[in-house]
Structure 1
């Protein structure tokens, strides 16, 4: 029964990749947005973390998380040229589903790691796997491009490697089976984890400490060996780990040097070394040539003025708010089990696994609570450790816990998977499908053109550029107000914009006056643009630009919960037409308004200027 339930939940996890919920901008802008630019050659927006002067993110984790799906999309485009003579134009949903399905595939490595760890320590993994598979985190956070999700995968793989070292069989004469390949993998994963997120050091500290203890124990139990021989055995056994760590680090450094254009600086450094330059010159050249992204991020986060830009939080936020928000009833269980273990009450089955992963989760929680900037997703790597640490209680628990657990996760799945900022992706899809693949374009009135929309949502179709005229391309500007930052790469627009192009303006939470300025900048209302509702609803309407030989349109995108003055409401009605509405869309800043008017306020509105 447990196997059938798990397989059903696994299929549901794959299906949940299509959910439109938008949790945090970092799910796009720390991975897919960057990979889309360098791999798929899409127009994209880079963030401060990837500034070439002092980059705070390594490119290797970005490619691990999003390079494969973007490479697939690039191959699909090339295949379209080869087969049909023109590139495939993926829709917004196609790009989204491809990158999320890859993230879901990576999330199953966490399940596999938990299964193997528990089996290695003779614990039945079926109930813990159901706990993991029913967590809303597996359907949402782990199915997104967060670097925290990759950190979770790497931490799970590291735990799996460690348990293989710890439980390696002993042959006759107390000679342990060699685990050199596993040792190498443990070191390589550690380096990759640090280059993914600097918080990996805190989470993995208990794993590293126990790894060293495993090899100390092996060296001490070596038969007929003196102190020097045992030390030599320890060094020999741990050397593959060191080699893996060094090679993985060098690989990340080399990739970053290429991505951030440091090859010239590396060549200069090599010449200085050959010439025997003084240490001061070598250090300066080394600083210019080598990109130490984790160190740059650590420096950035140690400056209070930098953290203040992202929000400062009380030290108890993780413990009292974020951890319960992510784990619900399981947070209470974890606190209870941890307190009981500190008081001397411990599990009999799988004691090593429970204690080790309890230490991983506890140290991670304590260490991250010392940092003044605290977001719930920072605790995502605790997921497998919390499941393992609480497996004894969950296995013995009754139906009450499971009812609470399932209800909690169903609610949070709806909130984060569907409702939270859920209109941004559908609006981007509307913008793309209403712009690309035009056909049957005709003049409606002097200065206004209308076109039948050609690109259908949810499929990959050839999309030849069809401008209104050879010399007058079309252009769409979308102004987003009080939403999360829209990721441009989802539009799959080539970096060298063709005759049909887009511009996404992100006003975020700026003043309402700045948003209304776009309405005022359009000038007086053109009576010729007062077309019937059918034109605006079923066609894409363009207006000839006054300063350039092109046709364009301006879309205003804002939550329906936005409060305008009576004059502003009147100006919006007189100067624009509602062309699209995305439901549901919940902006937590206006949660009171949304709860009061759920059928009218929980949506994202798109209005086009006349």
Structure 2
């Protein structure tokens, strides 16, 4: 009776916990969608725009845009085949919707906000493929899906990277689907092989002809399993490689496990492994040809005219994955993007991306290596098990990717599925529920009792997981380089409201690359035709962008002088007025004023026109001991008229001084926009 009551109480407690995890997961799903529309202003990496939206939005809507060097027609490194499906097709639907809204309701939705949000909405929908794949695998193997979905949904990887237009996010979705397909094929093959071998034994032991006939019919009725999901898997692998050739490293362990399933039994031999490999390669050929044709047409290597005239040769085709590989195996070229030690992926990037689960993953891997070297092979996962598949899908790619000297955390986000599946239950159970080593060593026992056992760690792991993911969400989603998009919106409005004879010049420094397509300027490189008169025309270029990275401020001011001097000459000769703006992090405001003063720029006037909050540039971190903006800027730069005059004799420990210093520090989390112009009363107005 007591056992029954205890069992019922235990089951009721587990059900309540599962319901709580499920409801929390649904909350994070809603949050993922809401964060797309708010939207997140954080700017994770330039590739977020310049390998996707900047190219395809600029081309589709015929806007001024910056074409990344990777899309150079001479030696293209990036395929557009997958992007045509994930971005180009949805943009066509968006354009149809925009035309109808403009025609019937007079509502224009084509603006910078739409350019930012709509592609992210597409990526957000794609991100739920990861959730679906995880749920299906949990169902197949009878695993607890609530805590796993909760860990996946609450991860900043899904809330940020999952909704951003990174090729890595598409790679993560393809990896998740492929893992589900392989896991399904593994369990299906195991089931069919077990039934087949069972029926074969029964057939041999059967006494009567009738029983043998019955068993023979049952055996022939078993479904096939050798080549399940063959075409779908090969097509997904080709799509993954064309999207990002590093998928070769992620997909190889999964494809190997798909070919390996059933090996070692009576029904499956090494011949089947070779047959699967050969048919897999043959099944990939149609997708390879299709994607190669799409890229060849896009980069103008192949045209319909050449096909019509039968003037087609091998030089009319471009294979972008091979170009990508050739570029990245050259260490001198990859060094231009930054050099990193070989251990960065394993010891830094995995803990940074997955925090608690990253540490658990590394500890579990170390534990397996220790068991292997101590010859405790029974404690290792079986080669053809789901644990073996997921472990190989993590550490085999990590090993090979660590050989590349340029390593970024986002390269590892396809690991999300296997890490969550293997280790997320430990967020509520602790690292280990039992002593994991065969021998009782004093140091290992102490380490287990203090850090690994459920009693010591379970109470804090889930809270730590939430805290760190929320902190990373705030940092990358709403703080890091988050003034860049509002800056594009500001100039979108400025371009719409300016006079026709005015040119705008924007100089940026110590910020990420400026997505020019968001300014919504019609392309000046395209020839257009007036439908009424048939006359051809082009738009005049009236917006100029100068990006100087992390250039020294003295050199930056020198370049700014040259630009103003050129604009003055153009104004005299062509009667074109101009406005010159400089956008830099607010943390450099004090330094900028000092440089301007030391440069003796007596003929140039400048003022602060706007500050975009919040904004944090790691290239120019705020100084906690910096001066307050009211002490740095001139009175006319006080945008809201809130500056108070201090005589500088306050007590350093007074509340007024500390609060003012704190205010000075907070004000540095912004992106300042300055306007520079010549003083018209100066005699040397033509020269700077």
What is the rounded CA distance, in whole Å, between the counterparts of 1:270 and 1:208 in structure 2?
41
Task: Report the TM-score when normalising by structure 1.
Answer: 0.81
Using the TM superposition, give the Cα deviation of residue 165 of structure 1 relative to its aligned residue in structure 2, in angstroms.
1.6
Structure 1 position 412 matched with structure 2 position 472: yes
Structure 1 position 257 matched with structure 2 position 284: no
What is the rounded CA distance, in whole Å, between the counterparts of 2:279 and 2:329 in structure 1?
33
Range that drifts further, 40-49 or 292-301: 40-49
Task: Report the TM-score when normalising by structure 2.
Answer: 0.72
Tell me which residue corresponds to 1:28.
Answer: 49
The verdict on how the C-alpha distance between 1:572 and 1:362 changes in structure 2, with shifts beyond 3 A counting, is farther
Larger-Rg structure? 2
- Which runs of structure 2 are paired with 1:135-534 in the superposition (5 Å)? 135-168=155-188, 170=192, 172-173=218-219, 175-177=222-224, 182-214=229-261, 220-221=266-267, 231=271, 235=275, 241-264=280-303, 267=306, 271=310, 285-286=313-314, 288-342=315-369, 343=371, 344=377, 352-394=385-427, 396-397=429-430, 398-436=458-496, 438=497, 468=499, 472-496=500-524, 498=539, 501-521=542-562
Match of 1:581 among 594, 611, 633: 611
Structure 1 position 129 matched with structure 2 position 189: no
Deviations 1:411-451 (A, max 9, x none): 11111111111110111111112332x3xxxxxxxxxxxx7
Q: Where does structure 2 lack aligned partners over 5 or more consecutive residues? A: 1-19, 196-217, 372-376, 431-457, 525-537, 627-663, 678-688
Q: Any conservation in 2 of the 1:95–1:492 contact (CA below 8 Å)? A: no
| Larger strand fraction of residues | 1
Deviations 1:502-542 (A, max 9, x none): 33321112232342135424669x9xxxxxxxxxxxxxxxx
Paired residue secondary structure (2:621): helix
What is the rounded CA distance, in whole Å, between the counterparts of 2:151 and 2:316 in structure 1?
47
Using the TM superposition, give the Cα deviation of residue 307 of structure 1 relative to its aligned residue in structure 2, in angstroms.
1.2
What is the rounded CA distance, in whole Å, between the counterparts of 1:572 and 1:321 in structure 2?
49
Paired residue secondary structure (2:620): helix
Using the TM superposition, give the Cα deviation of residue 232 of structure 1 relative to its aligned residue in structure 2, in angstroms.
7.4
The verdict on how the C-alpha distance between 1:84 and 1:475 changes in structure 2, with shifts beyond 3 A counting, is farther
The verdict on how the C-alpha distance between 1:114 and 1:552 changes in structure 2, with shifts beyond 3 A counting, is same
The verdict on how the C-alpha distance between 1:572 and 1:495 changes in structure 2, with shifts beyond 3 A counting, is farther
Paired residue secondary structure (1:30): helix
Q: Which has the higher contact order (CA 8 A, sep 6+)?
A: 1
What is the rounded CA distance, in whole Å, between the counterparts of 1:336 and 1:345 in structure 2?
19
Range that drifts further, 242-251 or 121-130: 242-251
Paired residue secondary structure (1:57): coil
Q: Any conservation in 1 of the 2:57–2:115 contact (CA below 8 Å)? A: no
Q: Any conservation in 1 of the 2:253–2:392 contact (CA below 8 Å)? A: yes
What is the rounded CA distance, in whole Å, between the counterparts of 1:317 and 1:573 in structure 2?
50
Using the TM superposition, give the Cα deviation of residue 389 of structure 1 relative to its aligned residue in structure 2, in angstroms.
2.1
Q: Where does structure 1 lack aligned partners over 5 or more consecutive residues? A: 274-284, 439-450, 452-467, 527-542
